[in-house]
Structure 1
Amino acid sequence: MYGPNGFRVVKPGHFVVCAMSGVPVPLEELRYWSVERQEAYASAEFSTRRALEDL
């Protein structure tokens, strides 16, 4: 579960999948996510692209 200041693992695993690219992102490298959409992103670029879709 993605929160505004961090995330909580709700299902055991070592990675999440980027919502934009499908690339696996290791949990220790996860830096970008959307609280509203509950999605993870592999990079700031993917996070920004997704946010711009709402404009």
Structure 2
Amino acid sequence: MLMSSNSSGSGSEARLQYGPNGFRVIRPGQHVFCAATGEAIPLADLRYWSVERQEPYASAQIAAEQLKP
């Protein structure tokens, strides 16, 4: 994952591009919001997302529920 050490955007929502092995910061920030729950997820804690849907999830359980066929 590529993260900027720049502190601009501190306390704000980041904009990310999600890939199969990580994410790229498009707009710096401190967190993203879970697509299912709306919970703020600090970038340092972000582990689950959908590449196809380009959305983050707060936990593995939430990701599994969202991605069920």
Relative to the length of structure 1, the TM-score reads 0.93
**What residue identity is the alignment partner of 2:38?**
G
Determine whether 1:46 maps to 2:52: no
Alpha-carbon distance in 1 for matches of 2:51, 2:31: 17
Output the aligned Cα RMSD. Answer: 0.5
**Number of aligned residues:** 53
Gaps of 5+ in 2: 1-16
Q: Which has the larger radius of gyration?
A: 2
Higher helix residue share: 1
Higher strand residue share: 2
Q: Which has the higher contact order (CA 8 A, sep 6+)?
A: 1
Aligned sequence identity (%): 57
Gaps of 5+ in 1: none
Moved segments of 4+, more than 2 Å: none
